[in-house]
Amino acid sequence: MHALEERGIPVINSPRAIERTVDKLWTSALLERAGLPVPETVVCDDPDEALAAFRALGDVIVKPLFGSMGLGMVRVTTEEMAFRVFRTLETIRGVYYLQRAIDHEGCDVRAFVVGDRVVGAIERRAAGWRTNIARGGEARAITPSGPWAELALRAARAVGADYAGVDLLPAPDGTVYVVEVNGIPGWRGLQQATSSDVAAAIVDHCLARAAAR
């Protein structure tokens, strides 16, 4: 994709945007720099440092640095569990990416951004803490309020994505956290729950970009 871009061919999303969004640490850093609310995050490469971070944060989600659809994520709530998880990661020379767990009652929002608008959004619900549709979560269409839509747009802009799936997580204190920006998002779950034509919105955006060149 870099080679295409160097030849002057528009690539959407850009290779740089995709690189930013597949790396959770990079994404989190860009979101925080943009002033967006993200869960407290610690990244380290030592199991003892990871254990110290768990003790400081209390209840954490341990995520792979790269990945999607909730794969490889573990919620760690006890020191015994933390010790086992971190030692397992040590054997595969994994990076420890820990985020403070946000109580959200099994509900979050995936907003789909194309260009400068949110073309569709779903509320995802699940019995546990993982709400991903790929992991069994159920979806219903919603119209995000102005502040929620603005958060999604700002998150996509922060990583330089033309289109993105932005996950928003409401906390009991009213804070809405940005927990993921997916630069290569699927939209089957959203398409099944809403009347939004996501593919058409992306095509229209591509045509508008091409016409503006």
Q: Are strands 176-182 and 163-170 parallel, antiparallel or unpaired?
A: antiparallel
CA distance 66 to 135: 17
pLDDT in tens, the chain (213 residues): 878 778 887 889 999 999 999 999 999 999 999 999 999 999 988 889 999 999 999 899 998 877 655 567 888 999 999 998 888 888 777 788 899 998 877 788 999 999 999 999 999 887 666 656 555 567 889 998 899 999 999 999 999 999 999 999 999 899 999 999 999 998 888 888 888 899 999 999 999 888 877
In contact, 102 and 40? CB cutoff 8 Å: no
Residues whose CB is less than 8 angstroms from the CB of residue 107 and which lie 6 or more positions away in sequence, other chains included? 123, 124, 125, 131, 170
In contact, 184 and 21? CB cutoff 8 Å: yes
Q: Where are the domains positioned within the chain?
A: 2-22+103-211, 41-100
pLDDT at 136: 58
pLDDT at 68: 58
In CATH terms, 41-100 corresponds, of 3.40.50.460, 3.40.50.2000, 3.30.70.20, 3.30.1490.20, to 3.30.1490.20
Residues whose CB is less than 8 angstroms from the CB of residue 92 and which lie 6 or more positions away in sequence, other chains included? none
In contact, 131 and 124? CB cutoff 8 Å: yes
> Side chain identity at 110, as an amino acid letter?
R
pLDDT at 160: 97
| Angle, vertex CA 6, rays to CA 166 and CA 31, nearest 5 | 25
- Domain 2-22+103-211, what architecture? 2-Layer Sandwich (3.30)
Place of tokens 């380290």: 44
pLDDT at 105: 73
What b/e readout covers 68-93, taking b as 16+ CB neighbours within 10 angstroms?
A: bebeebeebeeeeebeebbeebeeee
Task: Give the neighbor-by-neighbor strand order of the sheet with 107-114.
Answer: 138-141, 117-125, 107-114, 163-170, 176-182
| Number of neighbouring beta carbons within 10 Å of residue 197 | 14
Place of tokens 């699940």: 126
